[in-house]
């Protein structure tokens, strides 16, 4: 059995490695990330992670597939990835001085058994000036991030505080995923210990 990450996100790859999983393949799902509009944010991320997982699992029978999807919501209004700098500016203005929620859906699949869950983290931004927004966009960081910011990058200076799993805001709730993986016979702490003993 191989472990497959159905995502091209370098942050998710890094987080899997931090969990102690060093031997895995990356096979990004190719389907469009469009969820049913009538769903709530938690339902959306679960649906999208299930779709990604099913797509990759279909070509990798016998392997354990992990898929995830993250979105940002303000008052249940979903903010995806910005398509332009103007879109990024609008998103950042909407987050300025406010509390928002970051949702990540995670699906794990192996030999027909599938488990899907989600994590929610609340994040509060400090009040941003127009100059703050322009300068942050100039870094290029917002353009491939849900909600137009990355907490692990330059966007860390925008965040006043969080409640919940920090890694969920990066795109992968590692504590929840580790618990999910035990249901499939994968213990990440045992893998980490084995890896360290070999070095």
Is residue 69 flagged as an active site residue? Answer: yes
- DSSP for the chain reads --EEE----HHHHHHHHHTT--SEEE----S-----TTS-HHHHHHHHHHHHHHHHHHHSTTSEEEEEEEEEEETTEEE---SSHHHHHHHHHHHTTSEEEEEEEEEEEETTEEEEEEEEEEEEEPPPPHHHHHHHHHTTGGGGSGGG--TTTGGGGGEEEEES-HHHHHT--HHHHHHHHHTTT--HHHHHHHHHHH-
Catalytic residue among 69, 132, 144, 165: 69
Provide the annotated active-site residues: 69
């Amino acid at each position: 059995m191989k472990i497959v990450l159905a995502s091209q996100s370098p942050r998710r790859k890094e987080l899997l490695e931090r969990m102690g999983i060093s031997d895995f393949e990356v096979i990004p799902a190719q389907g469009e990330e469009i969820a049913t509009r009538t769903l709530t944010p938690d339902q959306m991320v679960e649906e999208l992670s299930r779709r990604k997982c099913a797509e990759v699992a279909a070509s990798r029978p016998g392997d354990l597939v992990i898929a995830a999807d993250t979105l940002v919501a303000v008052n249940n209004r979903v903010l995806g990835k910005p398509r332009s700098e103007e879109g990024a500016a609008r998103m950042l203005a909407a987050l300025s001085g406010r509390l928002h929620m970051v949702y990540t859906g995670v699906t794990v699949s192996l030999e027909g058994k599938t488990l899907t869950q989600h994590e929610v983290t609340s994040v509060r931004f400090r009040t941003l000036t127009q100059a703050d927004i322009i300068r942050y966009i100039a870094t290029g960081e917002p353009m491939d991030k849900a909600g137009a910011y990355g907490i692990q990058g330059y966007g860390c200076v925008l965040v006043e505080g969080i409640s919940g799993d920090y890694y969920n805001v990066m795109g992968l709730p590692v504590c929840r995923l580790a618990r999910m993986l035990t249901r499939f016979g994968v213990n990440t702490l045992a893998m980490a210990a084995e890896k360290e003993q070999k070095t």
